[in-house]
Amino acid sequence: MIPTFTSLTSSKMDSEHSDTSTLLNSTKSATALKEAISITNRHKRRDNSKAVLAIANNYITCFACASLCKYIERKYTGVPFTWWTAYIIAILIIASRLRAFENLVHEASHNNLFTVARFHDRLEFLFSFPVFRVLRIYRTQHIDHHKYIGDPILDADITRMMHYGLVSDKPLDARKLYWLVYGLPFTGWLHYEYIVTTFAEFWTTPTSYPSKILYWFTVLAAVHFYNIWGAFFYYFVVPWILILPITRWWAEMSEHLGLNMTDHFGNSRTNDGFWQRWWINPLNDGLHAAHHLNSQIPFHRLRDAHNDLMRNSEEYRSKNIFSHGLRETFHQILTHPTIIRSKDVQ
C-alpha cells in the first residue's frame, strides 16, 4: 500500500509531538534536579564537634556495654540466663556502633566529617582502622559508585548485587530472595567473603602504612598488658566477625535494589524505620535518597535536608521510595524490578 500525503503528514506530526514531549520532560527533570540541588546546598555545613562526638560516642558505647556485662557477671553470678541476656543485647549494640564506624568511613570518603579536608586522612585511625578500612581505597571505590550509579560494570556495588542474582528486569523468585536475605547470612559465607576481601586488603595494601600497623600494635599491646584477651574476644571479635557482616549485607541490599537506578530521583531508598535508624543504618545512613542527590551533606544535616526536600521538591517527594522496616524493604525488592543502565541483565 502506498502511503498518502495525509498519512505521511500525520506520521511526521506524531514524531514531532513525541520529540517535543521528550524534550519537555527532559527539561522539566533537569529543572527539578537543579532546584533539589539548590535546596540541599543549604545543608552542606560541616561541624568538627559533631564529628568528634560521633566518633567518641562509638567508643564510649562499646566500652560501656562491655563494662556493664562484666558488672552483671560479677553481681548476678549463679542467676540463670542473666549474663547471656545482657551479653546478647550488648553485642548487638556494639555491632551497631561498628556499623556506625563504617558509616563514618563513608562520610569521610566525601570529606563530610571535618571542616578541613586533609583531617579525614590524617585522622582515619580513629574511625577507619577499628573496622579494618583504608580510607583512600574506600573513597576511590565509593566515588565511582556515585559517578556511575547503576552501571553494571563501573558501579562495584551493583556488580556485587548482580553476582548474587539480585538484579533482574523480571520479578525475583521469592524462594531465592528469602534465601539470600534469611539463609545465606547465617551460613558463614559473607563472613568468609569479608575476611578474604576487605580484611585481607586492609593488611596487604601498602596504603596507610605504617599507621595501621602502629594502631593495631598499640591496641593488642594494651590488651596483652591488661590481660583482657577474653573481653577483647567477647566484646570486639564476636560482634565484628559474627554480626557486622550480616547487618552490612542487609544494609547494602536495602540501598538500591527494587528501584530505578537510571534516574536522579528514586534511585535510592529512604530506610527510616526504628531498627534501620538504630542498627542497620545508623548516623542517618538510611536517608540514602537525599545523600545521592547531594553527597556533600554531612550525616548530622541529612535529616534536615531530607525534610526540606519533602517540603519543597515535588519530584523528590513523589519519587522517593520509603521503607519503615526490613521486611518492607525486602518486599519492595521482591515486587519491583531493579532498573540499571544496561538492558542486558540476566
Query: What pTM, to 2 d.p., does this model score?
Result: 0.90
- The residue with greater pLDDT, 172 or 22, is 172
Alpha-carbon gap, residue 196 to 239, rounded angstroms: 18
Contact of 58 with 101, CB cutoff 8 Å: yes
Binning the chain into helix, strand and coil, the percentages to the nearest 5 are 70, 5, 25
The upper half-sphere exposure of residue 268, i.e. CA atoms within 13 Å in the direction of its Cβ, equals: 24
> What are the sequence ranges of the domains in the chain?
46-335
Chain segment 105-147, per-residue pLDDT in tens = 999 999 999 999 999 999 999 999 999 999 999 999 999 999 9
Chain segment 67-110, per-residue pLDDT in tens = 999 999 888 877 778 889 999 999 999 999 999 999 999 999 99
pLDDT for the residue 342: 73
Is pLDDT at 18 greater than 80 in this prediction?
no
Is pLDDT at 195 greater than 80 in this prediction?
yes
pLDDT for the residue 75: 87
Q: What is the mean pLDDT of the chain?
A: 91
Chain segment 227-258, per-residue pLDDT in tens = 999 999 999 999 999 999 999 999 999 999 99
| Phi, psi for 142 (deg, rounded to 5) | -75, -35
Alpha-carbon gap, residue 40 to 122, rounded angstroms: 28
Is pLDDT at 14 greater than 60 in this prediction?
no
